[in-house]
Amino acid sequence: MTIDRQPIATPQAPAAIGPYSQAMQSGGQLWISGQLGLDPVSGNLVEGGIEAQTRQALANLQAICEAAGTSLHQALRCTIYLTDLRDFALVNGLYAEAFSQPYPARACIQVAALPKGGVVEIDAVVALKHHAH
Protein backbone atom coordinates (compact mmCIF):
# COMPACT_ATOMS: atom_id res chain seq x y z
CA MET A 1 0.00 0.00 0.00
CA THR A 2 1.42 3.35 -1.04
CA ILE A 3 0.90 6.28 1.28
CA ASP A 4 -0.24 9.47 -0.46
CA ARG A 5 2.46 11.98 0.39
CA GLN A 6 3.75 14.91 -1.57
CA PRO A 7 6.63 17.24 -0.68
CA ILE A 8 5.93 20.98 -0.64
CA ALA A 9 8.70 23.45 -1.38
CA THR A 10 8.74 27.20 -1.97
CA PRO A 11 11.53 29.74 -2.42
CA GLN A 12 9.43 32.06 -0.22
CA ALA A 13 10.68 30.11 2.82
CA PRO A 14 14.21 28.98 3.71
CA ALA A 15 15.41 25.99 1.69
CA ALA A 16 15.76 22.69 3.52
CA ILE A 17 19.40 22.42 4.63
CA GLY A 18 19.41 18.71 5.39
CA PRO A 19 17.61 15.45 4.68
CA TYR A 20 14.10 16.84 5.13
CA SER A 21 11.36 18.64 3.21
CA GLN A 22 9.95 22.07 4.04
CA ALA A 23 6.63 20.25 4.37
CA MET A 24 4.84 17.04 3.44
CA GLN A 25 1.22 16.90 2.35
CA SER A 26 -0.78 13.76 3.11
CA GLY A 27 -4.36 12.82 3.90
CA GLY A 28 -5.73 16.35 3.85
CA GLN A 29 -3.00 17.65 6.14
CA LEU A 30 0.20 19.63 5.70
CA TRP A 31 3.05 18.73 8.07
CA ILE A 32 5.51 21.65 8.15
CA SER A 33 9.08 21.27 9.36
CA GLY A 34 10.24 23.55 12.15
CA GLN A 35 10.88 27.07 10.91
CA LEU A 36 13.54 29.30 12.36
CA GLY A 37 13.69 33.05 11.89
CA LEU A 38 15.75 32.62 8.73
CA ASP A 39 15.60 35.02 5.81
CA PRO A 40 14.56 32.92 2.78
CA VAL A 41 16.99 34.72 0.48
CA SER A 42 20.19 34.84 2.56
CA GLY A 43 19.51 31.75 4.68
CA ASN A 44 20.73 33.70 7.70
CA LEU A 45 18.90 34.58 10.89
CA VAL A 46 17.12 37.93 10.67
CA GLU A 47 18.49 40.74 12.84
CA GLY A 48 16.48 41.89 15.82
CA GLY A 49 16.50 39.02 18.30
CA ILE A 50 13.49 37.09 19.53
CA GLU A 51 10.81 39.42 18.12
CA ALA A 52 12.23 39.55 14.59
CA GLN A 53 12.99 35.81 14.55
CA THR A 54 9.46 34.96 15.72
CA ARG A 55 7.86 37.17 13.07
CA GLN A 56 10.08 35.60 10.38
CA ALA A 57 9.42 32.03 11.55
CA LEU A 58 5.67 32.71 11.33
CA ALA A 59 6.09 34.31 7.90
CA ASN A 60 8.03 31.24 6.74
CA LEU A 61 5.26 28.94 8.00
CA GLN A 62 2.66 31.05 6.17
CA ALA A 63 4.68 30.98 2.93
CA ILE A 64 4.81 27.18 3.04
CA CYS A 65 1.06 27.07 3.77
CA GLU A 66 0.40 29.28 0.74
CA ALA A 67 2.57 27.03 -1.47
CA ALA A 68 0.25 24.17 -0.50
CA GLY A 69 -2.92 26.23 -1.06
CA THR A 70 -3.79 26.71 2.60
CA SER A 71 -3.17 29.20 5.43
CA LEU A 72 -1.90 29.26 9.00
CA HIS A 73 -5.52 30.02 9.94
CA GLN A 74 -6.18 26.33 9.12
CA ALA A 75 -3.51 25.13 11.59
CA LEU A 76 -4.44 22.15 13.73
CA ARG A 77 -1.37 22.03 15.97
CA CYS A 78 1.86 23.95 16.49
CA THR A 79 4.94 23.44 18.60
CA ILE A 80 7.05 26.39 19.71
CA TYR A 81 10.65 25.74 20.74
CA LEU A 82 12.36 28.50 22.74
CA THR A 83 15.91 28.65 24.02
CA ASP A 84 14.62 30.82 26.90
CA LEU A 85 11.10 30.49 28.32
CA ARG A 86 11.40 34.07 29.61
CA ASP A 87 10.61 35.00 25.98
CA PHE A 88 7.25 33.19 26.21
CA ALA A 89 5.03 36.26 26.80
CA LEU A 90 6.52 38.15 23.85
CA VAL A 91 6.35 35.14 21.52
CA ASN A 92 2.81 34.34 22.67
CA GLY A 93 1.68 37.86 21.75
CA LEU A 94 3.20 37.65 18.27
CA TYR A 95 1.77 34.14 17.83
CA ALA A 96 -1.73 35.39 18.75
CA GLU A 97 -1.48 37.98 15.93
CA ALA A 98 -0.72 35.27 13.35
CA PHE A 99 -3.67 33.00 14.20
CA SER A 100 -7.41 33.37 14.63
CA GLN A 101 -9.91 31.59 16.82
CA PRO A 102 -10.38 28.76 17.25
CA TYR A 103 -6.65 28.60 17.94
CA PRO A 104 -4.74 25.44 17.06
CA ALA A 105 -3.63 22.98 19.71
CA ARG A 106 -0.12 23.86 20.86
CA ALA A 107 2.90 22.93 22.91
CA CYS A 108 5.73 25.25 23.93
CA ILE A 109 8.99 23.95 25.31
CA GLN A 110 12.41 25.28 26.23
CA VAL A 111 15.32 23.62 24.46
CA ALA A 112 19.06 23.83 25.10
CA ALA A 113 19.89 25.07 21.60
CA LEU A 114 18.48 25.47 18.09
CA PRO A 115 20.17 25.23 14.68
CA LYS A 116 22.15 28.25 13.45
CA GLY A 117 21.97 29.82 16.92
CA GLY A 118 18.27 30.61 16.59
CA VAL A 119 16.22 31.50 19.66
CA VAL A 120 12.82 30.30 18.42
CA GLU A 121 11.56 27.56 16.09
CA ILE A 122 7.93 26.78 15.25
CA ASP A 123 6.45 23.80 13.43
CA ALA A 124 2.84 23.15 12.42
CA VAL A 125 0.29 20.66 11.18
CA VAL A 126 -2.22 22.45 8.96
CA ALA A 127 -5.47 21.33 7.36
CA LEU A 128 -5.57 21.59 3.60
CA LYS A 129 -8.49 23.49 2.17
CA HIS A 130 -11.03 21.29 0.47
CA HIS A 131 -11.88 22.18 -3.11
CA ALA A 132 -15.06 21.09 -4.83
CA HIS A 133 -14.40 18.71 -7.72
Domains of the chain in sequence order:
6-127 (3.30.1330.40)
Rounded to 5°, the CA angle 123-68-33 comes to 20
- Environment class of 73 (CB within 10 Å of its CB; exposed 0-12, middle 13-18, buried 19+): middle
Note the Cα 62 to chain centre separation in Å: 7
Q: How far is Cα 36 from Cα 13, in angstroms, rounded to an integer?
A: 10
Q: Are 2 and 11 in contact (CB under 8 A)?
A: no
- Tell me whether residue 78 is one of the annotated catalytic residues: no
Catalytic entry in 9, 24, 94, 108 = 108
- Divide the 133 residues of the chain into consecutive groups of 10 and give the mean pLDDT of each group: 89 93 96 98 97 98 97 97 98 96 97 97 92 44
